Amino acid sequence: MAEYNKLSEVTYNPKVRSWHFRVKLHRIYPFYSYVTNSGPYYNYILADEDGYKMEMTTYGDYENFRGLEREEGRWVEIFVVEVERATPCFQPTSSPLRLNATLRI
């Protein structure tokens, strides 16, 4: 059986580049950048088995997450993400952190 990180255990540490989550995709919001005229990008509201919720956003390297937007309401595995501090302007969850899903290979 695979070993997963819990969303509640995530810490902001720039040196840690790899996390492995099993989460349920509760809501998915598409958005476009009017500044760069690009997109769609996606904002995901995730929850782990303990019910801890966190936000994840995909930017730039969206091709690696193609099809994830069709998985709303399902359990999925997410492997490599970056942890950032949540911005106060739009914070759909109570977590002080958010996940940025720009992959680094």
| pLDDT tens digits along 10-28 | 766 666 667 778 889 898 8
The pTM of this model reads 0.70
- pLDDT tens per residue across span 39-68: 777 888 888 888 888 888 776 656 667 777
Task: Give the confidence band of 102 by pLDDT, cuts at 50, 70, 90.
Answer: very low
And the tokens for 39?
A: 């997109």
Structure confidence at residue 104 (pLDDT): 33
Distances (CA, A) of 83 to 7, 14, 74, 103: 11, 8, 22, 12
What is the model's pLDDT at position 103?
Answer: 35
In this prediction, residue 44 carries a pLDDT of 84
Report all structural domains of the chain as residue ranges with CATH numbers, in order of start: 7-100 (2.40.50.140)
